[in-house]
Amino acid sequence: MPVWIRSESIAGSIRPHCLDHSRWILHIRVKRDNSRAMIRILAVDDHPLVRKGIRLMISTETAMQLVAEASNGREAVQQFRTHRPDITLMDLQMPEMGGVEAIIAIRGEFPNARIIVLTTYEGDVQVLRALNAGARGYLLKGKINTELTEMIRGVHAGQKRLSPEAATELAEHAGEEALTMREVEVLRLIASGNANKEIGAQLSISEDTVKRHVTNILSKLHANDRTHAVTIALRRGIIDL
């Protein structure tokens, strides 16, 4: 019977080597752990309960780690500089600095930053604004429990991901004529309850010019009246209150 006297790790396969006619040595290859690297995540939202929910969800994923949190855009930029996360989850509506502004600031310093927007807003204009700023994913908060981790993996792998609702909104309004900057200004003032004469005074334009802008706004938004136009604009993310 041969006698096994020791073992050691080598890069080759398992093979016996004869020491003499009665003794052998067994060399065993030890496999390295090739599991995928941990995805490091920064969560940005001004609502503590949302951040808590994200924290709990990430804690159940063995290949993900929440490395930092922020409650507004300014904090997000600072935390990104400190931690250099693989993925940033970014809310849009926050105090001090909003999500779009934070995305622009982060990607201005770190062009390869991978950012996923988490929001309640599905309007096409809001989606486009975020994508143009550099977001690589867009997910509604109502889908966090079912779609967030898969979107994180996809964006981390280099993909761009949109929630079905956001994609539908983009498709529905593709090719439509956008409002001009002046028309958006007029619409914001309408939403604030101003009459045409008041809008003209605030923008230093005539009342007739305001009326022309209102006509264009109703036509472009396919709105029945001023109130309807405001409702559409809020839903699509053209304006916010």
Look up the CATH number of the domain holding residue 81: 3.40.50.2300
Q: How far apart are CA 144 and CA 186, in angstroms?
A: 36
Helix (H) or strand (E) holding 118: strand 115-119
Establish if 163 belongs to a structural domain: yes
Is residue 79 domain-shared with residue 198, that is, in the same domain? no
Is residue 12 domain-shared with residue 46, that is, in the same domain? no
Is residue 28 domain-shared with residue 51, that is, in the same domain? no
pTM of this prediction?
A: 0.77
Is residue 189 domain-shared with residue 225, that is, in the same domain? yes
Output the CA–CA distances (angstroms, integers) from residue 122 to 83, 112, 138, 142, 236, in the order listed: 29, 25, 9, 11, 7
Establish if 86 belongs to a structural domain: yes
Give the per-residue pLDDT at 121.
85
Establish if 241 belongs to a structural domain: no
Give the per-residue pLDDT at 31.
42
- Domain boundaries, position 220: 181-236
Give the per-residue pLDDT at 103.
98
154 CB contacts (<8 Å, ≥6 apart)?
137, 161
Give the per-residue pLDDT at 15.
45
Is residue 23 domain-shared with residue 46, that is, in the same domain? no
Decide if 238 contacts 125 (C-beta within 8 A): yes
Count structural domains, the chain.
3
CATH number at residue 192: 1.10.10.10
Is residue 144 domain-shared with residue 66, that is, in the same domain? yes
Is residue 145 domain-shared with residue 56, that is, in the same domain? yes
Is residue 153 domain-shared with residue 204, that is, in the same domain? no
Is residue 62 domain-shared with residue 150, that is, in the same domain? yes
Q: Which of 154, 173, 192 is the last residue of a domain?
A: 173
Is residue 68 domain-shared with residue 142, that is, in the same domain? yes
Establish if 48 belongs to a structural domain: yes
Is residue 1 domain-shared with residue 104, that is, in the same domain? no
Establish if 16 belongs to a structural domain: yes
Is residue 20 domain-shared with residue 56, that is, in the same domain? no
**Successive 10-residue mean pLDDT values, the chain, 241 residues:** 42 44 43 64 97 95 97 97 98 94 98 96 90 96 93 96 91 90 96 96 96 96 95 90 75
Give the per-residue pLDDT at 16.
45
On the 0-12 / 13-18 / 19+ scale of CB atoms within 10 A, 121 is buried
